[in-house]
Amino acid sequence: MARDNERNQERGAPQRRQFFRRRKSCPFSGEGAMKIDHKDAKTLFKFVSERGKMIPSRISAVSTKKQRELAIAIKRARYLAIMPYVND
Partner 1 sequence: MKLYETVFIVRQDATPNQVETLAQDYTKIIRDNSGDVAKTEFCGLRSLAYPIKKNTKGHYVLMNIKAAPEVVKEVERQMKLNENVLRYLTIKVEVHDPNPSPLMQQKNFNPDRNRGYDDDQDDLLPTAMENA
Instruction: Look at residues 53, 56, 55, 54 and name the one whose alpha carbon lies nearest to residue 86.
Output: 53
CB closer to partner 1 out of 40 and 71: 40
Query: Does 46 contact partner 1 by CB under 8 A?
Result: yes
Return the CA Rg of the chain.
Answer: 19
Alpha carbons 28 and 11: distance in angstroms, whole number:
45
Q: How many residues does the chain have?
A: 88
Q: Which of residues 3-22 bind partner 1 (CB under 8 A)?
A: none
Q: Is 49 left (phi over 0), alpha (psi -120 to 50) or beta?
A: beta
Query: Does 63 contact partner 1 by CB under 8 A?
Result: no
Q: Which range binds partner 1 by CB under 8 A, 3-11, 12-20, 71-79?
A: 71-79
Query: Does 25 contact partner 1 by CB under 8 A?
Result: no
**How many chain residues are in contact with partner 1, going by CB under 8 A?**
30
Which parts of this chain interact with partner 1 (CB under 8 A)?
A: 24, 27, 37-43, 45-47, 49-51, 53, 55, 59-61, 76, 78-85, 87
